[in-house]
């Protein structure tokens, strides 16, 4: 005879719904009630079945996180806060990557029986949002704007960080500035490019085509682009599309025997943990990625709990963090 | 009227079981059959329900990966190959971390309705294996030996890599060797310590207590230990428990104004991607972590498919990779 949540509820003196919420560590259940329920469950040898929970509530407690590439340090960085925060709300994180055709991705997400999806991929032309919408699978955009299908979203405003960075580098004497930009079919790539060009323009600095490289958000792009820029254009400073790209650029500098800040200055974006290592000390444009993922998890769970109607968008500001990869030119202030 | 897998099977001219396997991308279904089934499913607008699949087969297609800390780069490194390989076998990866009491972890894994679990946590004294065994949840050990409960396992043999490393450093003139060792309650920490001490002993080098530090597998441990060693003991070379610890040690060196190889040499373990960056170039003891996770996924899925009876263990050898953090002393060969 198997023990049910009804038995646990009776022993603990609470409702069956409270048993389920207490055992999934729901933040709205008090520590004392959680303790009572766990004691009762332990005493009876009760183990809740996730499949049973899913059937009784009509849907699963699983939220998908769709990323482009798990091997990329930026996407790897999203997993711990997403995992922690969803768990806090009693949901489990499911990882999904974009490999394969675009249409197949939405079908895989739907087939996975997910309650909802966090879309952390970058491409604007993806059909995934529309397909999820057609199938009534709730989703939230992480770090993406300008999509055709409306949904809750968390976004980064790259303007304040770029303005502060450009102010700093102009004061340090930099005028010959290059950029390794992100993919043109991403909202992040476009938004950062616009923010950079506008900030430079206000200081009378133009970003000519021969000082611009483009590519994916990976170290290879940064490595190749920096190697080309060193050979052709010799900028005094390079804005990298993100920190992963900046690390690739630093690798190219090292191989060329050049020293960051002294020979070429570099600024990243995202302020990932390696940027703070003493052996790297990358100047970067930072925002609170941890808080942003917390807010993303909150938005999707609020949507799943039906506690919200209107679409919400949360914007996270940026700031410039000056470390050791930006140098002062002899001409500065002279 | 909802479309069922029966309808898809009829249209594609295959069995219902084949429809389920084809849509979960099972490796044993031919690409042609997968194509037929997907076409039929698309034509009918069929979306398989994971909950339905789980009920019809009596268990879920979800495999848990239990790690100590997702923020740690070593554990983050395990996720992409585990995810990819499990997906190839038609299983989904669920992440679990060790936060909370030990007993609660096993209950959470069981409550999650997992088909099986990959135990990638390091502590030997954990009660999790016994609890999973009692509940008949199949599991496999990743990188752990010497547990009381028998199960399939993948392990690393640290001996060849340490012998090659010690041979190299002895030829380079190093005799005053220090070590930052991993936790004593982990099999990896114990196995690496024994391999290092034995290899050094064969060359007449002793590892005295004042040249040994211990701690967790994190950058803070490496940073603190190297700071202490620089102040007290001044070794010419330091073996770090792994690459994450070695990066912490490199950070401490940089802050002290010391140069790796020239002032103090450092050797890591795991050969993670940052070890290969030109700006780090960490000498390390390497093994094929990617192949090891592939084999781990194969072992747990074989166990779940019931295609195996005896317990299997796969051992991955190590080798020394010499990069830029090990220097040659003036006395070497002199």
Q: Which pLDDT score is estimated for A250?
A: 98
Q: Which pLDDT score is estimated for A146?
A: 66
Mutate to test the interface with A, among B38, B76, B100, B111 (most CBs of A within 10 A): B111
Strand order in the sheet with A237-240: A212-214, A177-181, A237-240, A265-269, A283-286, A319-321
- CB-based contact A113 B80, cutoff 8 Å: no
A103 pLDDT band (50/70/90 cuts)? low
Chain B residue with Cα closest to A25: B108
Neighbouring CB atoms inside 10 A of B28's CB total 10
- Per residue in A189-219, pLDDT (tens digit) is 999 999 999 999 999 999 999 999 999 999 9
- CB-based contact B251 A277, cutoff 8 Å: yes
- CB-based contact A51 B49, cutoff 8 Å: no
A48 pLDDT band (50/70/90 cuts)? low
What's chain A's average pLDDT?
Answer: 88
Measured on CA atoms in the order B262, B265, B266, B272, is the torsion positive or negative? positive
- CB-based contact B279 A254, cutoff 8 Å: yes
CATH of the domain at A218: 3.40.50.2300
* CA of A76 vs chain B CAs: smallest distance (Å): 7
More confidently predicted of A84 and A47: A84
Rounded CA-CA distance B249/B282 in Å is 11
Chain A residue numbers with beta carbons less than 8 Å from the beta carbon of B48 are 111
Chain A residue numbers with beta carbons less than 8 Å from the beta carbon of B70 are 79-80, 83
In chain B the first and final C-alpha atoms are separated, in Å, by 86
Q: Which pLDDT score is estimated for B244?
A: 97
* CA of A305 vs chain B CAs: smallest distance (Å): 20
- CB-based contact B251 A70, cutoff 8 Å: no
What is the DSSP secondary structure assignment for residue B59, as one 8-state letter? S
Same domain for A122 and A263: no
Mutate to test the interface with A, among B279, B282, B323 (most CBs of A within 10 A): B279
Same domain for B166 and B282: yes
- CB-based contact B112 A50, cutoff 8 Å: yes
β-pairing, B152-156 with B313-316? parallel
> Which of A16-25, A169-178, B95-104 tops mean pLDDT?
A169-178
Chain B residue with Cα closest to A64: B94
- CB-based contact A60 B70, cutoff 8 Å: no
Q: Using beta carbons and an 8 Å cutoff, which residues of B are at the interface with A?
A: 23, 38, 47-51, 54-55, 60, 70-71, 76, 79-80, 83-84, 92-95, 97, 107, 110-113, 135, 219, 247, 250-252, 254-255, 274, 277-280
Host domain of residue A20: 5-48
Mutate to test the interface with B, among A279, A281, A324 (most CBs of B within 10 A): A279
Assigned domain for B238 exists: yes
Same domain for B210 and B165: yes
Q: Which pLDDT score is estimated for A244?
A: 97
Neighbouring CB atoms inside 10 A of B305's CB total 11
Residues A172-188: what's their mean pLDDT? 94
- CB-based contact B254 A279, cutoff 8 Å: yes
Number of domains in chain B: 3
Q: Provide CB contacts within 8 A for A146, sequence distance 6+.
A: A124, A187, A190
Same domain for B118 and B29: no
Q: Which pLDDT score is estimated for A236?
A: 97
Q: Which pLDDT score is estimated for A325?
A: 98
- CB-based contact A250 B76, cutoff 8 Å: no
Assigned domain for B328 exists: no
Q: Using alpha carbons only, what angle is made at residue A96 by residues A93 and A100, rounded to the nearest 5 degrees?
A: 170
Assigned domain for B326 exists: no
Q: Using beta carbons and an 8 Å cutoff, which residues of A are at the interface with B?
A: 23, 47-51, 54-55, 60, 70-71, 76, 79-80, 83-84, 92-95, 97, 104, 107, 110-113, 135, 219, 247, 250-252, 254-255, 274, 277-280
Assigned domain for A265 exists: yes
Contact (Cβ atoms closer than 8 angstroms) between residue A245 and residue A281: no
Assigned domain for B191 exists: yes
H-only helix segments in chain B? 5-12, 16-23, 31-44, 50-57, 73-88, 102-111, 128-134, 159-171, 187-202, 219-232, 243-255, 273-276, 289-304
Closest partner CB to B83 (pick from A47, A95, A104): A95
Q: Which pLDDT score is estimated for B33?
A: 83
Report the run of H or E that residue A57 belongs to, with start and end: helix A50-57
Q: Which pLDDT score is estimated for B144?
A: 83
Rounded CA-CA distance B269/B186 in Å is 15
Chain B residue numbers with beta carbons less than 8 Å from the beta carbon of A47 are 107, 110-111, 135
- CB-based contact B111 A48, cutoff 8 Å: yes
- Per residue in A244-276, pLDDT (tens digit) is 999 999 999 999 999 999 999 999 999 999 999
Same domain for B165 and B280: yes
Assigned domain for A31 exists: yes
Chain B residue numbers with beta carbons less than 8 Å from the beta carbon of A55 are 51, 55
Contact (Cβ atoms closer than 8 angstroms) between residue B169 and residue B265: yes
- CB-based contact A95 B79, cutoff 8 Å: yes
Chain B residue numbers with beta carbons less than 8 Å from the beta carbon of A54 are 51
Same domain for A172 and A29: no
Same domain for A273 and A196: yes
SS3 letters across A294-313: HHHHHHHHHHHCCCCCCCCE
- CB-based contact A251 B279, cutoff 8 Å: yes
Chain B residue numbers with beta carbons less than 8 Å from the beta carbon of A113 are 49-51
Same domain for B292 and B143: yes
- CB-based contact B279 A274, cutoff 8 Å: no
Half-sphere exposure of A18 (CA within 13 A, CB side): 20
Same domain for A282 and A178: yes
Closest partner CB to A70 (pick from B83, B92, B219): B83
Same domain for A171 and A212: yes
Assigned domain for B144 exists: yes
Residues of chain B with pLDDT under 50: 1, 51-56, 334
A56 pLDDT band (50/70/90 cuts)? very low
Rounded CA-CA distance B156/B261 in Å is 27
Closest partner CB to B251 (pick from A83, A94, A279): A279
Same domain for B115 and B130: yes
Q: Which pLDDT score is estimated for A104?
A: 75
Assigned domain for A21 exists: yes
* CA of A107 vs chain B CAs: smallest distance (Å): 7
Same domain for B221 and B309: no
CATH of the domain at A29: 1.10.260.40
- CB-based contact A55 B51, cutoff 8 Å: yes
Chain B residue numbers with beta carbons less than 8 Å from the beta carbon of A82 are none
Residues A129-140: what's their mean pLDDT? 90
Chain B residue numbers with beta carbons less than 8 Å from the beta carbon of A110 are 47
- Per residue in B157-212, pLDDT (tens digit) is 999 999 999 999 999 999 999 999 999 888 899 999 999 999 999 999 999 999 99
Neighbouring CB atoms inside 10 A of B57's CB total 12
Which backbone phi and psi does A5 adopt, to 5 degrees? -65, -25
Q: Which pLDDT score is estimated for B305?
A: 87
A165 pLDDT band (50/70/90 cuts)? very high
Closest partner CB to A111 (pick from B50, B247, B279): B50
């Amino acid at each position: 005879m198997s023990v049910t949540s009804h038995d646990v509820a009776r022993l603990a003196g609470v409702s069956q719904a409270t048993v389920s919420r207490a055992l999934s560590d729901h933040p709205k259940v008090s520590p004392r009630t959680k303790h009572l329920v766990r004691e009762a469950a332990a005493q009876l040898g009760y183990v809740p079945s996730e499949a049973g929970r899913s059937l009784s509530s009509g849907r699963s407690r699983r939220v998908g996180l769709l990323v482009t590439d798990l091997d990329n340090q930026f996407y790897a960085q999203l997993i711990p806060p997403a995992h922690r925060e969803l768990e806090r709300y009693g949901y489990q994180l499911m990882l999904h990557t974009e490999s394969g055709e675009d249409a197949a991705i939405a079908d895989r997400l739907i087939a996975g029986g997910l309650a909802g999806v966090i879309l952390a991929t970058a491409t604007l032309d993806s059909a995934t949002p529309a397909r999820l919408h057609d199938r009534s699978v709730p989703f939230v955009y992480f770090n993406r704007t300008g999509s055709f299908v409306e949904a809750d979203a968390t976004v980064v405003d790259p303007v304040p960080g770029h303005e502060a960075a450009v102010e700093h580098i102009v004061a340090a004497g930099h005028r010959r500035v290059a950029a390794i930009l992100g993919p043109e079919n991403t909202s992040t790539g476009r938004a950062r490019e616009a923010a950079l060009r506008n900030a430079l323009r206000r200081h009378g600095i133009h970003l000519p085509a021969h000082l611009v490289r483009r590519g994916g958000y990976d170290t290879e792009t940064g490595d190749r682009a920096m190697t080309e820029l060193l050979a052709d254009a010799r900028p005094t400073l390079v804005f990298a599309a993100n920190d992963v790209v900046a690390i690739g650029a630093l690798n190219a500098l090292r191989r060329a025997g050049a020293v960051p800040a002294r020979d070429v200055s570099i600024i990243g974006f995202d302020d990932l943990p390696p940027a703070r290592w003493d052996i790297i000390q990358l100047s970067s444009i930072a925002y609170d990625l941890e808080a942003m993922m917390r807010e993303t998890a909150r938005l999707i769970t609020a949507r799943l709990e039906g506690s919200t109607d209107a679409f919400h968008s949360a914007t996270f500001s940026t700031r410039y963090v000056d470390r050791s990869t930006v140098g002062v030119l002899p001409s500065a202030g002279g």
